[in-house]
Structure 1
Amino acid sequence: MKKTLAVIIVFICFLHAVNAQNELTELKFDTKYFDAVDQYVAFPKKEKDSTFSIYFIYVDEMAGFSMRFEDQFSINKKGKLKLQPNPDKNTSALIARLNRNTAFVSVLTNEQKADLQLPKQPEWLKSYKPKDSIDVGYLTKIGYFYNHDGASHNAIEPLLKAYKKEPHYKGLEFELGFAYNATKQFSKAIPVLEKALKKDENNQLLYKELGYALVNNKQIDEAEKVYEKGISISKNIAIKCEMAVNMAQLLFKENDKIRFKKWAAIARKYGEKTPQYIKYIDYFEAELNKK
Structure 2
Amino acid sequence: MMIMFICQLLKSRWKQGGKRLLGIDKIPVVRDGERTHMCDEGLYIKNNSNRERMEEIIRAHKLESLGVLAGGIAHDFNNLMAIVMGYIYLALIDLSPEHASRQLLLGAISSIEQTKDLTSRLITFSQGGAPHRKISNIPEIIQKAVSHALKSADIGVDFDFTDDIWSAEVDEYQIRQCFHNITTNAVEAMPEGGKLTISTVNTLLNDDQGLDLKEGAYLKITFADEGIGIPEESLGKVFDPYFTTKEMGSHKGVGLGLAVCYSVLRKHDGYITVESQQGEGTTFILYLPARMDL
> TM-score surpassing 0.5?
no
Bigger share in strand:
2
Q: TM-score when scaled to structure 1?
A: 0.27
More contact order relative to length (CA 8 Å, sep ≥ 6): 2
